[in-house]
Amino acid sequence: MIFIENEHIKVSFAAKGAELQSILGTDSLTEYMWSGDANFWGKFSPVLFPIVGALKENSYQFEGKTYELSRHGFARDMEFEYHHISEQEILFTLTHSDETLKIYPFEFTLSLRYKLSGASLSCTYEVVNPAEKELLFSIGGHPAFAVPLNKQGAYTDYFLQFNKDAELTYHHIVDNLISPKKSVLTLDEGKLTLQHELFYEDALVFKSLKSDRISILNTKNYNGLEFNFKDFPCFGVWAAKDADFVCLEPWCGIADGIDHNQQLKDKEGIISLAPKQHWERIWQVTCF
């Protein structure tokens, strides 16, 4: 394992996927991340690149050719290079290769920069286009946080606190694709009580979220966390069936709609990065 730490938290990673796997409070010994139990879901915090969600028929078209790409893309399954910038900051990097160019015909450099500040961990997604043509991509986070924390209380003792929403309109997923069907969840002063049944159909997918901060809190005043994000136009909340975690997923991109024409340039949420340009987004989790 690879780690960075300070006097408040110790954070561990794997080089495969540059995946965040543990956030441990050094005083309380609270583990804030999901355990990765493969009986439910064997990941912790995969990076979604160069697509978010699934493609229609697991394929897309670009410049007259058809390419196949699995759900959430390939970055989460690839080995990243890394180096410690300091004891409290680490940089993971992945670049295009002959292997990636066969399924994704773009040159790129993808970096994940993790940095500690007090009891907070920030994750910065950095994408550079080294080529002479535009780079088309989507990217998103998928961190899974333990609920209940330290096995304190029940799942339903916990709730999500949205800082700017009174109700949530979410899109239903059909066969991994976004359907036109929408439903509304009414919040109680911004609170959404966690229940396993919320995720029995799949993730709750939001395209019009007003909030830029979601906290995981509980009615018993156990430990919790605050998740901050900005300029991510879509957001997902998900858990595997009956598993003791919840994923907070900021996305720049989204799964294909069921009627999508499969043209990459027309994909909802696709980002076009001009030659030699740099792009970044940041999310941050603060533990208490």
* SS3 state of residue 275: coil
User: How far is Cα 109 from Cα 180, in angstroms, rounded to an integer?
Assistant: 34
SS3 of residue 66 by DSSP: strand
Q: How far is CA 3 from CA 28, 46, 217, 284, in A?
A: 18, 17, 26, 17
HSE-up of residue 93 (Cα within 13 Å, Cβ side): 10
Q: Which residues of 58-68 are buried (b: 16+ CB within 10 A; e: fewer)?
A: eebebeeeeee
For the chain, what are the domain ranges?
A: 2-287
Average pLDDT along the chain: 97
- What does the alpha-carbon distance between residue 137 and residue 120 come to, in Å, rounded to a whole number? 28
DSSP state of 17: T
Q: Which two tokens stand for residue 110?
A: 């993808």
Predicted local distance difference test score (pLDDT) of residue 264 = 98
pLDDT tens by residue, 219-259: 998 899 999 999 999 999 999 999 999 999 999 999 999 99
Query: What is residue 221's predicted lDDT score, i.e. its pLDDT?
Result: 87
Nearest alpha carbon to residue 103 among 144, 66, 134, 148 = 66
pLDDT digits (tens, 9 = 90+) for 84-96: 999 999 999 999 9
CATH architecture of the domain with residue range 2-287: Distorted Sandwich (2.70)
Radius of gyration of the chain (CA): 19
Residue 23's φ and ψ, nearest 5 degrees, are -130, 110
Taking alpha carbons only, the member of 82, 101, 55, 75 closest to residue 262 is: 55
Q: Is the pLDDT of residue 104 over 90?
A: yes
The DSSP-derived string for 151-199 is G-S-GGGEEEEESS-SEEEEEEEETTEEEEEEEEEE-BTTEEE--GGGG
- Residue 9 reports pLDDT greater than 90: yes
Nearest CA-CA partner of 58 in 144, 153, 177: 177
What's the pLDDT tens digit per position in 173-188?
999 999 999 999 999 9
Average pLDDT over residues 197-219: 97
